[in-house]
Amino acid sequence: MALKNVGIAETMKFTRLVVLFTLFWGFGIASPIKVLLTNYDGSIAYSLGSSTRPYYIPSPGKSAAVGNYSIGQGGGNWEPEFVPFTVLVLNATIITGSVIEDTLKEYKEDDVYTVDFLVGLQIISLIKHAKLDESGITYLKSLSLPYLLIDSQLSCGASIGNSIKNARIIPPGPYVGKIHSGTLSLFKTYGTFYDQYDAFMAGVTPNDDGSYAYARIWHPEHYEIMIPYPSKLYTSLLDPAQYPLAGRRFGIKDIIDLEGIITGGGSREYARLYNTPKNETAPAMAKLIALGAVPVGKTKSATFAWGAWRDQNDDIPYSWNPRADGYLGLSASSYGSAAAIAAYPELDFTTGTDTLGSVRNPADRAGVYGLRTTWRAVEVEGIITSAITLDSVGFLTRDPILAQAIANVWEGQGNAALAPGPFTYPKKIIYPIEWFPVNSSAAQTLIDTWIANVTNALGMTIEYQNTSQIFQEVIGYNGTMGDWTTNVSSLDIYDNWATMGRQFVEDYGKAFGGRYPELDVSVRTPWAESPTYTKEYYDENTERAWEFTDFINNHVITGNNDTCSDGLWIYQIADTGGGVPEYRDRTLDYFPDFAGAMRGASIAPFAHTTDITVPIGQIPYMSEISHVEEQLAITLNFVAHRGCDLALMEFIKACADAGFCAEVKTGRTAF
Tens digit of each residue's pLDDT (9 = 90 or more) over 37-56: 999 999 999 999 888 899 99
Alpha-carbon distances, residue 315 vs 59, 300, 401, 563 (angstroms): 30, 11, 36, 45
389 pLDDT more than 60: yes
- Supply the pLDDT for residue 669: 98
Say yes or no: 255 and 140 in one domain. no
- Supply the pLDDT for residue 30: 53
Tens digit of each residue's pLDDT (9 = 90 or more) over 173-223: 999 999 887 788 999 999 999 999 999 999 999 999 999 999 989 876 777
Tens digit of each residue's pLDDT (9 = 90 or more) over 246-296: 999 999 999 999 999 999 999 999 999 999 999 999 999 999 999 999 999
Amino acid at 619: I
Please give the average per-residue pLDDT across 457-465, as a whole number.
Answer: 98
Q: Give the count of domains, the chain.
A: 2
Sign of CA dihedral 506, 507, 508, 511: positive
- Supply the pLDDT for residue 288: 98
Say yes or no: 278 and 415 in one domain. yes
Q: Averaging pLDDT over each range in 83-87, 125-129, 307-311, which range is the top one? A: 83-87
Domain boundary among 188, 214, 235: 188
Distance CA 195, CA 265 (A): 19
Say yes or no: 255 and 224 in one domain. yes
* Coil vs helix vs strand at 411: coil
Which region among 182-186, 238-242, 455-459, 485-489 has the lowest average model confidence (pLDDT)?
A: 182-186
6 pLDDT more than 70: no
Distance CA 648, CA 611 (A): 8
Domain boundary among 141, 161, 188: 188
Q: What percent of the chain has pLDDT over 90?
A: 80
Domain assignment of residue 516, yes or no: no
Rounded to two decimals, the pTM is 0.94
Helix axes 645-657, 441-458, angle to 10 degrees: 90
602 pLDDT more than 90: yes
Which region among 6-10, 126-130, 311-315, 564-568 has the lowest average model confidence (pLDDT)?
A: 6-10
Domain assignment of residue 491, yes or no: no
More reliable by pLDDT, 124 or 644: 644
Could you list the beta-strand ranges (E) of 182-283: 183-188, 190-194, 200-206, 212-214, 218-219, 224-230, 249-253
Say yes or no: 546 and 422 in one domain. yes
What DSSP string runs through 61-110? TTS--SEEEE--GGGGG---SEEEEEEEEE--SEE-HHHHHHHHHHHTTS
Domain assignment of residue 517, yes or no: no
Please give the average per-residue pLDDT across 128-136, as a whole number.
Answer: 90
Distance CA 244, CA 240 (A): 5
Residue 380: its H or E element = none
The DSSP 8-state label assigned to residue 317 in this structure reads P
Please give the average per-residue pLDDT across 78-82, as a whole number.
Answer: 67
Please give the average per-residue pLDDT across 146-155, as a whole number.
Answer: 82
Cα-atom radius of gyration of the chain, to the nearest Å?
28
Distance CA 10, CA 5 (A): 10
Q: What percent of the chain has pLDDT over 70?
A: 91
Residue 80: asked if its preceding bond is cis (omega within 30°), the reply is no
Q: At a CB cut-off of 8 Å and minimum separation 6, what does 275 contact?
A: 262
Amino acid at 403: A
Distance CA 613, CA 570 (A): 10
- Supply the pLDDT for residue 421: 87
Distance CA 394, CA 411 (A): 10
Say yes or no: 227 and 372 in one domain. yes
Say yes or no: 352 and 466 in one domain. yes
72 pLDDT more than 80: no
Q: In what order do the strands lie in the sheet with 94-95?
A: 94-95, 131-132, 155-156
Say yes or no: 137 and 255 in one domain. no
Sign of CA dihedral 405, 407, 408, 412: positive
- Supply the pLDDT for residue 393: 98
380 pLDDT more than 80: yes
Please give the average per-residue pLDDT across 123-133, as a whole number.
Answer: 89
Q: Which of 600, 361, 642 is nearest to 485 (CA)?
A: 600
The confidence band for 147, taking pLDDT boundaries of 50, 70 and 90, is: confident
Q: Which of 293, 284, 277, 300 is nearest to 378 (CA)?
A: 284
Alpha-carbon distances, residue 476 vs 186, 443, 444, 481, 482 (angstroms): 71, 35, 32, 11, 14
Distance CA 538, CA 556 (A): 26
Displacement of CA 324 from its chain's centroid (Å): 22
Residue 79: phi, psi to the nearest 5? Answer: -85, -40
Say yes or no: 114 and 19 in one domain. yes
Domain assignment of residue 671, yes or no: no
The confidence band for 3, taking pLDDT boundaries of 50, 70 and 90, is: very low
Say yes or no: 247 and 352 in one domain. yes
CATH of the domain at 543: 3.90.1300.10
- Supply the pLDDT for residue 22: 38
Which region among 6-15, 20-29, 88-97, 460-469 has the lowest average model confidence (pLDDT)?
A: 6-15
Q: Which of 105, 88, 405, 403 is nearest to 237 (CA)?
A: 88
Say yes or no: 154 and 232 in one domain. no
- Supply the pLDDT for residue 100: 97
- 170 C-beta neighbours (distance < 10 Å), count: 18
- Supply the pLDDT for residue 206: 98
Distance CA 615, CA 442 (A): 15
Domain assignment of residue 293, yes or no: yes
Say yes or no: 570 and 596 in one domain. yes
- Supply the pLDDT for residue 223: 73
Average pLDDT, the chain: 91
Q: In what order do the strands lie in the sheet with 349-354?
A: 212-214, 200-206, 294-299, 249-253, 349-354, 392-397, 369-372, 611-622, 629-639, 568-571, 428-432, 461-465
More reliable by pLDDT, 336 or 412: 336
29 pLDDT more than 50: no
Distance CA 508, CA 270 (A): 8
Please give the average per-residue pLDDT across 410-427, as a whole number.
Answer: 93
Say yes or no: 128 and 209 in one domain. no
More reliable by pLDDT, 552 or 576: 552
User: 212 is in which domain, residue-wise?
Assistant: 193-485+539-657
Domain assignment of residue 3, yes or no: no
Distance CA 595, CA 607 (A): 19
- Supply the pLDDT for residue 160: 56
Domain assignment of residue 507, yes or no: no
Domain boundary among 168, 188, 208: 188
Domain assignment of residue 150, yes or no: yes
Beta carbons of 553 and 641 less than 8 angstroms apart: yes
Q: At a CB cut-off of 8 Å and minimum separation 6, what does 151 contact?
A: 16, 17, 18, 19, 123, 124, 125, 167
Please give the average per-residue pLDDT across 623-646, as a whole number.
Answer: 98
